[in-house]
C-alpha cells in the first residue's frame, strides 16, 4: 500500500465503501464485486484499496477476532502482528508490575498498543514507516490514552516512560510481498538496541520462536508461546515485567484455555526406555523451551530415543503440553514392507510425522500409493537408535 492508496482508503467515501462490503470469501466473489463497484462509478484505485482491505480483514479474524472488522492493515503488518489474545497477556504484565506509561517501539499496525490501551494504560506507539504509522493511528483512534508517533525508535526519549515494549521488524521493508529476515543483525530496531534497553528498564521484546537461543541474555525470562500447537513467538522479559525465578517457559493456548510449564533452567531429558503403548508429541513451545524432561516427569514417560523429542508411556495421561497417540503397529522402516502393511489395513489417509530420520514425507506418501477407507498417523523416527515406523491413532 502506498500513500496515495491509503489516502483514498481513509477518505469518508473509502471507509464507507469498505464497511459496506460483504465479508471476503472467494476470488470469484471479488471478480463480481469489482464489476459492481466499477459500474457504480468508483475509481479503479479506490476499488483496489477497499477490496485489498476486505481480504486482509477476513484474514485478520484469526488474530483479532471481532476487532478485525473495524481495523486497517498492511499485508506485512498483519503478518507480524500479535494475536490479540496474546497481546492482552503482554499488556497484563505491565499492568501487574504497576507500570502506567508504556512506549511501544516499532508498533506496526498497533496490535500490542491496542491491548495496552484497553487496560487503561497510557501508551505511545512509535512506528518509522509513514503509511504503517497512519494505519496504527486509525486502529488506535478509539483510545484517548493512546497516541502514535511517526519516528525512528532510536530517537525516542525513554525517560518519559516506565515500561518499554519492542517488536522489531523481522521482515524486509515494504507493505506486501516481504520476506522474513534470517539474520537478527538486520532487525529494526536491532537486538543490541533492544537488549540495551532491557538492561536498564522494564522491557518486553517479541521475537520469532526460532531465534538462536545463544542470543538470549541470561537475565531475561524467555517465554515461548504456542496457539493451537503452532509456536507463534518468543517473548523476552526484563526487570519488573519478568517473573522471579523463571528463566524458561512454555505457554500453551488452545481449546483447553491456557497452560504453562516453567523453570529457572533448561530441564534435563529423562532416560530412554522401552516403547510403551502410547507416544506423546510435545508441543513445539515445550521443545523450544527445553522443558521436555519436565513434561516427561509429569506424565511418567520416557524418551523414545536419545535426542529425539518424542516421549513414550504405558498409560494415557491427559496433558495440554503434548498430543497423544496410541501405537497400533511397530514396523521396520522399509518402504516396500510399509506399503504392503498399509494396503492390508486399507489406509488411504495418512498423516506422516518424522524426527531423527532423513525422509521427505511428501515423497514417501507418493511412494506408498495409499488406497482405502481408513486413516492413521505414521511416525518415522528412531527407537533405541534404530530407524522405525510406528503406526498410530490419535488417543
Give domain limits for the chain. 3-58, 78-262
Mean of pLDDT values over 109-134? 96
**Quick check: 176 pLDDT over 70?**
no
Neighbours of 204 (CB within 10 A): 28
HSE (side-chain half, CA atoms, 13 Å) at 137: 13
pLDDT for the residue 172: 65
Mean of pLDDT values over 124-140? 96
- Find out whether 104 and 125 touch, Cβ atoms under 8 Å: yes
- pLDDT per residue as tens digits for the range 21-73: 888 877 667 778 888 888 888 888 888 889 889 999 999 999 999 899 999 99
pLDDT for the residue 379: 97
pLDDT for the residue 177: 60
pLDDT for the residue 3: 85
pLDDT for the residue 170: 75
pLDDT for the residue 27: 67
Residue 258 to residues 25, 89, 285, 306, 316: CA-CA distances in angstroms? 31, 11, 13, 30, 21
Closest by CA position to 387, among listed 269, 308, 301: 308
- pLDDT per residue as tens digits for the range 285-328: 999 999 999 999 999 999 999 999 999 999 999 999 999 999 99
State the pLDDT confidence band at 174, using cuts at 50, 70 and 90.
Answer: low
- What is the Rg, in whole angstroms, of the alpha carbon atoms belonging to the chain? 24
pLDDT for the residue 389: 95
- Find out whether 367 and 335 touch, Cβ atoms under 8 Å: yes
pLDDT for the residue 85: 94
The CATH topology of domain 78-262 is: Rossmann fold (3.40.50)
- pLDDT per residue as tens digits for the range 373-388: 999 999 999 998 889 9
- pLDDT per residue as tens digits for the range 240-290: 999 999 999 999 999 999 999 999 998 999 999 999 999 999 999 999 999
State the pLDDT confidence band at 141, using cuts at 50, 70 and 90.
Answer: very high
Give the 3-state secondary structure of residue 364: helix
Closest by CA position to 246, among listed 103, 93, 121, 98: 93
- Find out whether 313 and 301 touch, Cβ atoms under 8 Å: yes
Mean of pLDDT values over 194-208? 96
Mean of pLDDT values over 349-365? 94
Neighbours of 109 (CB within 10 A): 28
- Find out whether 72 and 135 touch, Cβ atoms under 8 Å: yes
Give CA angle at 219 (218, 220), nearest 5°.
95
pLDDT for the residue 392: 97
pLDDT for the residue 233: 96
- Find out whether 226 and 283 touch, Cβ atoms under 8 Å: yes
pTM, to two decimals:
0.90
HSE (side-chain half, CA atoms, 13 Å) at 97: 26
Grid cell locating 20: 459496506
CA distance 82 to 78: 8
Amino acid at each position: 500500500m502506498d500513500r496515495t492508496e491509503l489516502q483514498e482508503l481513509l477518505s469518508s467515501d473509502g471507509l464507507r465503501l469498505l464497511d459496506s462490503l460483504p465479508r471476503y470469501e472467494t476470488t470469484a466473489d471479488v471478480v463480481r464485486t469489482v464489476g459492481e463497484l466499477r459500474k457504480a462509478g468508483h475509481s479503479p484505485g479506490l476499488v483496489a484499496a477497499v477490496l485489498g482491505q476486505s481480504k486482509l480483514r477476513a484474514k485478520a479474524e484469526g488474530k483479532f477476532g471481532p476487532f478485525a472488522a473495524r481495523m486497517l492493515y498492511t499485508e506485512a503488518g498483519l503478518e507480524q502482528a500479535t494475536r490479540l489474545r496474546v497481546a492482552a497477556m503482554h499488556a497484563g504484565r505491565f499492568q501487574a508490575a504497576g507500570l502506567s506509561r508504556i512506549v511501544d517501539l516499532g508498533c506496526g499496525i498497533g496490535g500490542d498498543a491496542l491491548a495496552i490501551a484497553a487496560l487503561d494504560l497510557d501508551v505511545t506507539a512509535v512506528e518509522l514507516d509513514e503509511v504503517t504509522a497512519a494505519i496504527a493511528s486509525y486502529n488506535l483512534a478509539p483510545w484517548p490514552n493512546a497516541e502514535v508517533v511517526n519516528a525512528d525508535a532510536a530517537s525516542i526519549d525513554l525517560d518519559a516512560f516506565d515500561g518499554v515494549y519492542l517488536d522489531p521488524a523481522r521482515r524486509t521493508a515494504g507493505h506486501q510481498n516481504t520476506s522474513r529476515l534470517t539474520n537478527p543483525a538486520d532487525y529494526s530496531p536491532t537486538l543490541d538496541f533492544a537488549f540495551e534497553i532491557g538492561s536498564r528498564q522494564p522491557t518486553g521484546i517479541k521475537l520469532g520462536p526460532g531465534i538462536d537461543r545463544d542470543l538470549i541474555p541470561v537475565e531475561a525470562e524467555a517465554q515461548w508461546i504456542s496457539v493451537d500447537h503452532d509456536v507463534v513467538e518468543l517473548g523476552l522479559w526484563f526487570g519488573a515485567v519478568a517473573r522471579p525465578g523463571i528463566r524458561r517457559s512454555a505457554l500453551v493456548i488452545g481449546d483447553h484455555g491456557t497452560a504453562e510449564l516453567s523453570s529457572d533452567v533448561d530441564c534435563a531429558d529423562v532416560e530412554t526406555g522401552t516403547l510403551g503403548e502410547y507416544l506423546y508429541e510435545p508441543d513445539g513451545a515445550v521443545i523450544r523451551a527445553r522443558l521436555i524432561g519436565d513434561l516427561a516427569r509429569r506424565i511418567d514417560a520416557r524418551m523414545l530415543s536419545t535426542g529425539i523429542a518424542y516421549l513414550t508411556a504405558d498409560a494415557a495421561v491427559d496433558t495440554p503440553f503434548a498430543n497423544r497417540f496410541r501405537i497400533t503397529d511397530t514396523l521396520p522402516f522399509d518402504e516396500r514392507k510399509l506399503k504392503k502393511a498399509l494396503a492390508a489395513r486399507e489406509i488411504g489417509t495418512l498423516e506422516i510425522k518424522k524426527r531423527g530420520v532423513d525422509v521427505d514425507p511428501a515423497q514417501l506418501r507418493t511412494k506408498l500409493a495409499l488406497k482405502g477407507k481408513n486413516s492413521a498417523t505414521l511416525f518415522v523416527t528412531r527407537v533405541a537408535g534404530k530407524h522405525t515406523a510406528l503406526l498410530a491413532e490419535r488417543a
